[in-house]
Every structure is written in C-alpha cells, then in structure tokens.
Structure 1
Amino acid sequence: MEFVIKISQFLLSLSLLIVLHELGHFIPAKIFKTRVEKFYLFFDVKFSLFKKKIGDTVYGIGWLPLGGYVKISGMIDESMDSEQMAQPPQPWEFRSKPAWQRLIIMLGGVTVNFFLAILIYIGMSYFYGDRILPIENIKDGLLIESTVAQKAGLLTGDKIISVDGDKIDHFSQISEKVLFGKSIVIERDGQQSTVTLPEDFLSQLIDSKEKSFIDLRMPFVIAEVPDSSFNKGSGIRKGDIITAFNGQSTKYIDEVIPALESLKGQDVEATVLRDQEKVQIPLHISNEGKLSLVYASGATPETLEALGYYQFETRKYGFFEAIPVGVVKTGDKISSYITQFKAIFTPSTGAYKGVGGFKAIYDIFPSFWSWQVFWNITAFLSIMLGVLNLLPIPALDGGHVMFLLYEMISGRKPSDKFLEYAQMVGFVLLIALVLFANGNDIFKAIFN
C-alpha cells in the first residue's frame, strides 16, 4: 500500500508539471498562430496509450513516463524532422515567426514553472500558514550525530548563529545552509567561534552514508515496554520520558545513551516525566548498557511544546499577506537550487555524488498521503524543472533561448544545419546527464 501511495503522488506531481510546462509552450504558439502537431504527456516511443486528433494537433499519452513534449511545426527539436525542415517555410511554422514571438514561445514553459511555484506557495501560506522554530528558542543547542560534522568541528550542544555571514533565523534553514556553506559561526558554552568546513564536506557526508546530520535534541520517550523486558514490573509505562538517573539530568537522548553506558549492570532510580509530573522509577541497566525498552527518538511539535522543550511559532496569513510570502519563498527556493547546482558542477565539492534521477524524486514523496507535503514537493520540483530547462544546452529550452538571443542581438539567424547539429550534441549531453543521474540511483540502491 505504501508503494501505491508513493507512486501515485510521484506520477500525479510529474504529470501535472509536464502538462503545465508544455501548456506554457502550447498557448503562446496558438496565440501567434503557430501550428502545434503534437501535445503529449510522457513519450510515445513506437506507440501511444491514448491519442486523439483535434484540429491540427494530436493529443496523447505515451507509455514512457520520462517527460512530455509539444511538437511545433517548423522547429528543430528532439524529433529531428529534417524532411519537414527541407521544405519551404510556411506561414504557420515556428521558423517563419519573428524572433520575439519564438522567444516567448520558448520561454513559456519555464515561465509557467516559476508562476506555478509562486501560486502553490501563496496557497500553502494562506491555507496552512508557517510553523517555525526560531533559532533563539533552541536553548540547549543542536544534535550533531554525524562523525563527519564532528570531525569538521561541530558538536552536540552547539548553537549555529550564521553561515557564510547569513544570520540563521529558524531551524529549517540550518541543514541546507550548512551543507553548502563554508564558514559557520557557532556558540558553544556561551562563547562564539568560527568553524571552517572543508571544501569536500558534502562529499565526505555522502561517502559516510550517515543518515543523520544536524537535528533537534529530543527527549527519551518510552514507546513500548515489551513483555520480555527485565524492567517490565518496574512501573515504567509507554509515554514516560526519562529525565534523570540517580538525580543526574538526562534531558535528551544524547545524554541518556552515554549515561546508560556509564551505569552498566547497575540498579538506578530513574526520574520520569508522566502527565506533567515527575515520578521515581527503579530500573535495572544490563551489562550491555541497555534498559530492554523500546524508545522513540521523535515527538510532535505540540508534544515538545507541552513538555517545555521547544516553543514553536505559528504564522497565519490573510490572502493578500500570503502573496508576497509566496513570492519570497519561491525566490529563496530558486536561489537555494542554483546554489546546489553550482556545487554539483564544482567537482572538488563532491556534490555530484548526491545527484539522483527518477528514483531519487520518487523517494522524496512520503509513504502517507498529505496534500500539504504533496504541494510542497510539487512546488520545489516545478522550480527544479524551470531551472534545469533554462540551462544553455541545445535540446533544452535554454539552448533554444540562447540561439534566439544571439539572433536578436546580432541580426543573424543560425543556419538550420547548424541548429540540427547543435540539437544532436545537446541531445547526447542530455541523455548523458539522465544516464548519470539514474545510474547514481542504481549505484546507491546496490551498494548502500
């Protein structure tokens, strides 16, 4: 069932983005009276799952879910229809239109992608608001479990003040900024200092295969007391939170684990928090430093607030207030994705090791259905699709835009033969990138 939910979200999001992106090309093409021969969701290699011709356009669904396309008459694209291009130009063809009209047609797809992201973020801000954890409300610092991060100079209990000179305002900013940052100002034991990350910090994290990086410090919550537990009759209950052993404070999991290690084989008096009251429970710690209990490493924001661990902030927006918020969020995400992209194309960072294909996109969808999560992921994927399509690679929208701008500035149009060769080179580059990204997915699946 989890697979069905994940694949349904993946295909719905992908289909929505493809159809709207291609509509971004289709609508201006129609406005400028340019014939569109095909409008396809997914690729129809050899055959289609569905197709119907309406007017001059065949609308269809292909069987290969790797994208979609519109085929515009008189345009050198991935179809490489050299036979059509050998004929005299017709007034309804793309090549017969003024350069400014062709530019609008080519920019239509990415324009829709960015506007879609803005609309989604406006809608999410209006309907859901924002629930954030201000950095000043993290009183006892952060959890640093990654050995790579520890080696770089970050320790549990550190408060992160800024990254590369940018002040951290709330918790959700931290991981991404640190991953792609260079200089981090931290506060440790009341003193501020600077940690300089190695250039290949991201590469080291990927190679380490560590799942946890920077997180909130969480309470040690008892999730289950197994019948076979040697502490079954102690009075410990599901939901109890261990806060001390023999009077020594263990507010967080990262304090409980080493405390257990130091108290191996002993009987101790544990202080637990139960229904907002402190209760003393006698517990035995095995020679291996275990309690024979199942504990949970997380809690909801509501639970953490009720326990006094963290104070979250809820921001609600009216419709008109949500508009600038959505625009700013989109701008921040575009900037963030461009930063990631620069890191990927800087070999010394090793960021290219983390590049993923369709499997990686599939994996970011949760195994439960949540419209809030779905729209958040879809907005980011729309930005990703827009930025990728703007790359100046022939076969992508950005490649066509590059040649059109050259034509408009120089007054000289590249020859059809040159554009055909450029399209072939771009197509090879594009296939290589797709193979690399999806090959990374396969490599990780086999060796991780």
Structure 2
Amino acid sequence: METILIKAAQLILSLSILVVLHEFGHFMFARIFKTRVEKFYLFFDPWFSLFKVKKGETEYGVGWLPLGGYVKISGMIDESMDKEAMKQPPQPWEFRAKPAWQRLLIMLGGVLMNFIFAFIIYIGVLYAWGETYLPTSNVKYGIEVSETGEQIGLKTGDKILTVDNQQIENFNKIIPTIVLDDAKSIQVERDGKVTDIEITDADLALLLKSKSVMTPRIPFRMRVEGFTPDSPGEAAGIKIGDEIKGLNGKAFQFNDEWTNELQKHKGKPISLLVERDGKPTEIAMNLSDEGMIGIQIKQFVDDVFELKTIDYGLMESIPAGISRGVQTTKDYLKQFKLFFKPETKAYESLGGFATIGNIFPAKWNWFSFWNMTAFISIILAIMNLLPIPALDGGHVMFLFFEMISGRKPSEKFLEYAQITGMIILLALVLFANANDIIKMINGTF
C-alpha cells in the first residue's frame, strides 16, 4: 500500500507541475496579445471547485476532477462549450477577434512550454547527477534471459555484440533500439561463435508486452542479510552472515544456475552448504512450494561490472540536455508509429493512469522523478499536437486551414468538431485504462 501511495504522489505532483506549465504557455501568449483569460485552473471544476480566487480579469482555481487543467480564453470554442458567449458580437479582447497567427501562437504556447521545460529538466539532471550507465562491452559474463528472451531466440550466456551490425554503447538501450528502430537482427557470441538472431514483427510484439527481456549475467556469490516472514531457512538454522556455497552437493558459477536448481526442488527437502565463520556447514531444510528459502541476500555485484560515468559542467550540460531532449522526442515518435503497425500489437501496450504511475520508482527518488517528469512532459507535448479536435493540435489544424485557404471554419462547425474530439478523447482514455484493468486481472501489470 505504501508503494502505491508513493507512486501516486509522484504521478500527481509530476502531472500537476506539467499541467500548470502547459496552461501557463497558453495564458502567457494570450496576455501578450491582450486576449482576456477568464479562468486558469489546475484540474477540472464541473459544478464546484476546491479553491478559487479572482485577480483582475482571471479566476485562478483548483478543481476536484484530476484529469488535467485548462485556461478559459474569451471568444474561443473549447471544452467549456460556452455557446452563449459565442452568440455575441466579437470583442477586441476575444480570441476570435485576433489575427490567425496570434491565435496559432496562443494554441502552441502549451506545447512549447512542455518541450522547453523537458529540455531544462534534462539540462539540470545532467548537471546535478551526470550520466552513469553500463557499457555493453562490460557485460563480460553475457546475459540472463527471461522467457520472452528465449522466445525471440536469445539464450542465457549469450554476449550481445551488435544490433543490425551496429554497436550499442549503453547496455540498457539494446532492447529500446531493437523496438524503436525496427531492428531485423541481433548479433551475439554463443559458445565462442558469432550467431545472427532474426527479429520478426511477432518478436517485436513480444518485446512490447514484456517487462523484462534480459539482464547482465551475475556470478554466484551471496550472503544472508535477513529473513522473510515465516522463513523456512531461518527455521532450519540459517543465520545472518552465512555465505551460501552450494545446494545438494552442487556448486554454481552464476546466479541463474542457482535459481534454476531451486525451482527443480519446490516443496522438497534440500541440503544447503553455507560458509559460517570461515567453516563449511551443511543445513537440511525443506523449500517452500514456490522454491524459496525465505532469505534476504547481498549479492556482491558492485565490483562485478564497471560502470561508465560522465560528469557535466554547467556549460557542457546545456547542449547535452538539449540533445537528450531531442533524442527522447525522436524515440517517442518512433514508439508512437508502432501503434499504426497492427502486426506488432502495440495498441495492447497502451496504458492509462496506472501504467503512467507505475513508471515511477517505489521509493521517492528525485533523480528518477525529474527524469520521468521530463519524459511525460514530452509525451504531453506530442499528444497535444495530434490533429484531434479538443486538443491543441485540432485547433492548430483548423488555424492552418484558415491561413492557407483564407476561409475561417464556421463557429457551428467548430462546436461540432469540439464535441467529436471530446468523444474521441474519452474513448481513448477508456480504452487505455481498460488495458490497465485487463493487465491487472491477467497478472501482467
């Protein structure tokens, strides 16, 4: 429960910051062009608001429905659907009375703010924390693969060499590169030979659904640090500080070998070899039905892999942060294109609020929080540019039509378009959140 609350708190804070900044972008350009802003709200306020205060011509407030926020600009057909005001003659301070290029900038203000804010975050993150990653070349023991990894043709012990014959410097970017660049093959070293593994559209569909595909293979060495509730290991006499050496007379070179051996003896008696105070000790016990000993362990992996760290000074962090923002935008656009490729079944991975909240860590971490916030800011910018009425992109589409053709769509048409867009958005929200519910029911969330 605590984990869920921490993730929810991070999600709410992140979205609140981004919504306020997005709406401020519209507000700022509206004020620059002397357009009246009647309301500036975080969250929606049907029937009542949690807080409101009026300063000048604008009412600032917090609504009770946490599905975003809005600014109500005079003389504009938006989600408020204020038809009565639109029946009156246009006034100089109204949105509809402004030139098309000014209305275009007002509508693009929120998206611009989201992009700028994301780039600023990346600059700050790189300056404050630098960049640390595991080079692919340093994964010296090969990989440990999940069931998905096996299904696409990888094997535990493989060493990743290249993707489509291109080296990937950062190990954690191998799977994203395969998915986003529509890679056709992976080159691995297996049993001393170079092997080509073909990647099909069906494989991409598996990768999109999977939480984990591969991890670096870790040498076997573990020490007991604690116990789980009702631990069979503690009941059998295992002590904190014991270092595990073997099982049923077998020694292990890698962690995956140890895990596989445990799974073979679920609910059965085993003989565990531990080292205690420098001496070998045999402990007889029964594994749980899940194949667990019930211990918390330290694995000594800190000195196994050599990480690469890049530190950035203030001036260095600016181009590096902008570059990361641009690359993140490109990667998300590539990911977005997958939704229009039915064979990858990317639409099944579309998620709602639970999916977004789940990307935040279970413990509060400012480094992760700001990275996730920058990423979500870019997502919001791109999604708002979609040419769907009721989104900024829908308004921009009609404005471009007006600027090119010289004819402004009728207000009645814009009203119907707004209603249609809201229905489309509601359907998308319901679909995305239904996907979350299905994943929870199937235990794949």
Partner of 2:381: 386
Amino acid at match of 1:404: L
Larger displacement relative to structure 2 (222-231 or 338-347): 222-231
How much has 1:327 moved relative to structure 2? Answer: 1.1
Taking the TM superposition and a 5 Å limit, the aligned residue runs for 1:26-45 are: 26-45=27-46
Contact in 2 for aligned 1:394/1:423 (Cα 8 Å): yes
Larger displacement relative to structure 2 (328-337 or 253-262): 253-262
Amino acid at match of 1:17: L
> Structure 1 pair 362/77, CA: closer, same or farther in 2 (3 Å)?
same
Larger displacement relative to structure 2 (183-192 or 224-233): 224-233
> Structure 1 pair 187/437, CA: closer, same or farther in 2 (3 Å)?
same
- Give the counterpart of 1:195 among 194, 197, 219: 197
> Structure 1 pair 290/15, CA: closer, same or farther in 2 (3 Å)?
closer
How much has 1:246 moved relative to structure 2? Answer: 6.2
Partner of 1:8: 9
Contact in 2 for aligned 1:231/1:292 (Cα 8 Å): no
CA–CA distance in structure 2, aligned partners of residues 350 and 295 of structure 1: 39
- Which structure 2 segments of 5+ residues have no match? none
TM-score of the two chains, using structure 2 as the length reference: 0.87
> Structure 1 pair 432/266, CA: closer, same or farther in 2 (3 Å)?
closer
CA–CA distance in structure 1, aligned partners of residues 48 and 288 of structure 2: 62
How much has 1:69 moved relative to structure 2? Answer: 0.5
How much has 1:230 moved relative to structure 2? Answer: 8.8
- SS of the aligned residue for 1:329 comes to helix
TM-score of the two chains, using structure 1 as the length reference: 0.87
Amino acid at match of 1:405: F
- Which structure 1 segments of 5+ residues have no match? none
1:179-198 alpha-carbon deviations (Å, 9 max, x no partner):
44442222323332322223
Partner of 1:229: 233
Contact in 2 for aligned 1:160/1:168 (Cα 8 Å): no
1:3-33 alpha-carbon deviations (Å, 9 max, x no partner):
4433222211111010000001000100000
CA–CA distance in structure 2, aligned partners of residues 431 and 265 of structure 1: 55
CA–CA distance in structure 2, aligned partners of residues 319 and 433 of structure 1: 41
CA–CA distance in structure 2, aligned partners of residues 78 and 290 of structure 1: 52
Partner of 1:72: 73
- SS of the aligned residue for 1:187 comes to strand
> Structure 1 pair 297/237, CA: closer, same or farther in 2 (3 Å)?
closer
How much has 1:293 moved relative to structure 2? Answer: 3.5
Kindly, what percent of the aligned residue pairs are identical? 48
> Structure 1 pair 261/71, CA: closer, same or farther in 2 (3 Å)?
closer
Contact in 2 for aligned 1:265/1:289 (Cα 8 Å): no
Taking the TM superposition and a 5 Å limit, the aligned residue runs for 1:103-122 are: 103-122=104-123
Partner of 1:124: 125
Query: How many matched pairs?
Result: 434
CA–CA distance in structure 1, aligned partners of residues 202 and 245 of structure 2: 39
> Structure 1 pair 365/287, CA: closer, same or farther in 2 (3 Å)?
closer
CA–CA distance in structure 2, aligned partners of residues 83 and 287 of structure 1: 72
Partner of 1:238: 241
Larger displacement relative to structure 2 (13-22 or 253-262): 253-262
1:98-134 alpha-carbon deviations (Å, 9 max, x no partner):
1111111111111111111111111111111111111
CA–CA distance in structure 1, aligned partners of residues 309 and 337 of structure 2: 33
CA RMSD of aligned residues (A): 3.1
How much has 1:220 moved relative to structure 2? Answer: 4.9
Partner of 1:374: 369
> Structure 1 pair 178/96, CA: closer, same or farther in 2 (3 Å)?
same
- SS of the aligned residue for 1:200 comes to helix
